[in-house]
Amino acid sequence: MACVSDQKPSLINHPSTSTSISDFPNICEVGDQSSVSMKPPSLLRLRCSVQNYDWGQIGEESHVAKLFSRNSMEPIDAHKPYAELWMGTHDSGPSFVVDSGIGDQMGTAVSLKAWLRENPKALGEKVLDKWGGDLPFLFKVLSVAKALSIQAHPDKELARCLHKLHPTTYKDPNHKPEMALAITEFEALCGFVSVEELKSVLTSVPEIVELVGSTEEQFFNIKEQDGEDKVKSALQLIFTQLMSTSKDAVSEMVNKMKSRLDVEIKVRELTDKEKLVLRLEKQYPADVGVLAAFFLNYVHLKPGEALYLDANEPHAYIYGNCVECMATSDNVVRAGLTPKYRDVPTLCSMLTYKQGFPEILHGVPVNEFTRRYSPPFDEFEVDQCTLPSATSVEFPSTTGPSIFIVAAGEGSLQTSATEETIVQGDVFFIPAGTEFSIKAPFMGLLLYRAGVNSKFLI
């Protein structure tokens, strides 16, 4: 999940070449293609952007930091948060092509976006027809130390409207369905709890009842069999009331809840949700998001499990490392657990208010070593390839492009035209129609590949 930031992303190059960042005195701006003239290779080695949002894991603790360091040959700053590694063409964190034969005579580094505009056939005909000359997906690795904001991503219609009205806050006109695939144990809030669970919350959390007033009584009169529209209307009413409460009132009730739970923990075992909100309160004191967490499903992903999020669904990542893929967008509407701009009216009006525990994807085997995670979105899917030592795997050509990252290990990548040594932190763009194989002769490899959903490409 992307977060809009005022920080300029770091640009990184690849460690296996002698090229340093100082060797690229001019960075080709997105849209500036006057110097770009290249013959399409079978694959492109990429240097990518890193985002240092304050919720990222610090220094050596961060998986993103390790990937960044291997990709850039830059030392890890022990005091700096490393939150997201971006792989793709979004203007807020572009990837650049690393190849001594690519660029103009002055040695200008070429963005992947600019390269694709000069080489659109690398995207494949179906992708070009639907999305034009750009990647439809954005690929990331996240290292989360503290909760990201309670947020949702707008659908296409709302995204176009928000971008037109507030282009500095909502930076593009695209929607942003997304999927998170756990690398480690991963915690998140996602979607609204059921009617019955929410009634239990309103019975056991008196501080929320004090804030929402009479809307609580209206909600208790609702039954799930009353019809979806009536249930959603009641949920929207009570959630909007909570999120719109004054800061002073919220601060008072959050402190009151914390004091109550600090006493009750001495005489009973707190629920998982109660333990979570106490953690959130330490990270974001007096924040309405601490109370809003009671309305959302608390999801624990094991490594290899994935969670997908459609447009207009509330969520917040809490802790852990994951691979994330989404439609190429950076639109985020926030309402809690954040020091950043909050757009409470927009968020409360845009949500679907769908209830129930989200679907967890476990991946479908595509070969002995690879599992595929295919959410119901055309823009993307993700493969996880776990390759033991002394083994190899072939990736057949597809009619769409893909990007893959080496998350751990060392081996080699081979196409019909070239063979490359690959190590942790390597990122490659694979054009449509390219077959390649991966070998792990001496140690195991962990790879993640993002590509256009194969169901769309059929």
Provide the annotated binding site. Answer: 151, 153, 178, 315
Residue type at 229? D
Question: Distance (Å, rounded) from C-alpha 88 to C-alpha 172?
Answer: 15
Residue stretches of the annotated binding site for Zn(2+): 151, 153, 178, 315
> Do residues 319 and 376 lie in contact, with contact meaning Cβ atoms separated by under 8 Å?
no
Question: Distance (Å, rounded) from C-alpha 287 to C-alpha 255?
Answer: 10
Question: Distance (Å, rounded) from C-alpha 346 to C-alpha 334?
Answer: 9
Residue type at 420? E
Question: Distance (Å, rounded) from C-alpha 230 to C-alpha 228?
Answer: 6
Please state the three-class secondary structure of 320-380 as a single string.
EEEEEEEECCCCCEEEECCCCCCCHHHHHHHCCCCECCCCEECCEECCCCEEEECCCCCCC
> Do residues 87 and 112 lie in contact, with contact meaning Cβ atoms separated by under 8 Å?
no
Question: Distance (Å, rounded) from C-alpha 435 to C-alpha 43?
Answer: 10
> Do residues 136 and 452 lie in contact, with contact meaning Cβ atoms separated by under 8 Å?
yes
Burial annotation 376-394 (CB, 10 A radius, 16+ → b, else e) = ebbbbbbbbbbbeeebebe
Cβ neighbors of 82 (< 8 A, separation 6 or more) are 50, 52, 56, 57, 58, 59, 62, 64, 65, 68, 76, 143
Task: Write out the catalytic residue numbers.
Answer: 334
- Residue 185 CA, distance from chain mean position: 16
Residue type at 451? G
Residue type at 97? V
Among all chains, which residue has been given the structure tokens 């950076």?
330
3-state helix, strand, coil in the chain (%, to 5): 30, 30, 45
How many Cα atoms are found within 13 Å in the side-chain-facing hemisphere of 4? 20
227-230 long-range CB contacts below 8 Å, 24 or more apart? Answer: none
Question: Distance (Å, rounded) from C-alpha 65 to C-alpha 52?
Answer: 10
Question: Distance (Å, rounded) from C-alpha 131 to C-alpha 316?
Answer: 28
